[in-house]
């Protein structure tokens, strides 16, 4: 049994720690969110902060919202050292490293879906799948024509999640093409994984939100979910895990 990391009292339902979507508390914003909308970090043997995107690495975890403002604030204000209860070394380009790693995970998952016959690319083929009701996720190139992207979805994809985590060249490379703007993924686990990873990447590649004094605000959009239309750096790629968290943003201990 895992000790709940966010005590929400009577409001705990299937979306709570004991349900289908365990919650974690962000070490910066103090907001509890589903762990799919957060990123876990652990402290390596050399006291270096290590991103754990798959949430599987051993050790005490530190959770942060998948938001660029939050990551940058954690680096500037010593949130990692506070949660780790000691001095740590934080990579200087952590937010960018995370975006690169998430983009690579998305590319790897798309490649797996292609080998499994669960994704197709190209306007005509993808629309055929949509007409047949096979699609669980639409993946589009973020640098594709906005009009063309809208035309592809028009009349068919209103209830289907749409993400745009990669550029046309990176998306095309997955399918052995020079570039690709439209791809669809069959409903199922891989589509859900891609939706989650694209949502995390969107938060990390969004423009920093300025506050009244011109600085960025770490809590801006901290409670928001997947944000559409935000672009990832072109050609991104990496790999980076999950046990539950205490109020300081670190993992709770397992018992039993």
Q: Is the pLDDT of residue 77 over 50?
A: yes
Q: Is the pLDDT of residue 228 over 60?
A: no
Burial (Cβ within 10 Å: 0-12, 13-18, ≥19) of residue 86: exposed
Q: What confidence tens digit (pLDDT) does each residue in 95-142 have? A: 999 999 999 999 999 999 999 999 999 999 999 999 999 999 999 999
CA-based R_g, the chain, Å:
19
Question: Quick one: pLDDT at residue 255?
Answer: 34
pTM for the whole thing?
A: 0.75
Mean pLDDT on 37-53: 95
Q: Is the pLDDT of residue 186 over 70?
A: yes
Task: Give the range among 9-13, 90-94, 107-111, 152-156 with minimum mean pLDDT.
Answer: 9-13
Q: Is the pLDDT of residue 59 over 50?
A: yes
d(CA 20, CA 34): 9
d(CA 50, CA 31): 22
Q: Is the pLDDT of residue 60 over 60?
A: yes
Please give the share of the chain, as a percent, with pLDDT higher than 90: 67
Torsion angle of alpha carbons 130, 112, 179, 235, nearest 10°?
Answer: 130
Alpha-carbon separation of residue 184 from 96, 101, 174 (angstroms) = 27, 22, 13
Q: Is the pLDDT of residue 78 over 90?
A: yes
Question: In CATH terms, is domain 97-204 a member of 3.40.50.2020?
Answer: no
Query: Domain 9-94 maps to which CATH number in 3.30.1230.10, 3.20.20.120, 3.30.565.10, 3.30.1490.440?
Result: 3.30.1230.10
Query: What is the residue extent of each domain of the chain?
Result: 9-94, 97-204
């Amino acid at each position: 049994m895992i000790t709940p990391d966010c005590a929400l009292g009577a409001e705990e339902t299937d979306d709570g720690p004991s349900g289908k979507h365990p919650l974690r508390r962000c070490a910066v914003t103090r907001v509890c969110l589903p762990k799919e909308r957060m990123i876990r970090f652990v402290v390596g043997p050399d006291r270096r902060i290590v991103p754990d995107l798959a949430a599987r690495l051993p050790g005490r975890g530190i959770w942060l919202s998948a938001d660029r403002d939050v990551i940058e604030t954690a680096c500037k204000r010593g949130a990692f050292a506070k949660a780790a209860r000691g001095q740590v070394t934080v990579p200087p380009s952590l937010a960018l490293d995370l975006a690169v790693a998430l983009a690579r995970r998305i590319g790897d998952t798309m490649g797996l879906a292609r080998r499994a016959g669960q994704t197709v690319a190209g306007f005509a083929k993808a629309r055929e799948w949509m007409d047949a009701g096979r699609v669980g996720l639409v993946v589009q190139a973020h640098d594709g024509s906005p009009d063309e992207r809208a035309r592809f979805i028009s009349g068919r994809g209103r209830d289907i999640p749409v993400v745009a985590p990669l550029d046309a060249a990176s998306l095309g490379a997955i399918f052995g093409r020079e570039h690709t703007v439209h791809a669809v993924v069959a409903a199922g686990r891989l589509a859900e994984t891609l939706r989650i990873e694209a949502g995390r990447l969107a938060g990390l590649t969004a423009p920093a939100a300025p506050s009244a004094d011109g600085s960025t605000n770490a809590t801006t959009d901290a409670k928001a979910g997947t944000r559409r239309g935000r672009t990832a750096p072109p050609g991104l790629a990496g790999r980076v895990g999950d046990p539950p968290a205490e109020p300081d943003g670190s993992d709770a201990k397992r018992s039993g």
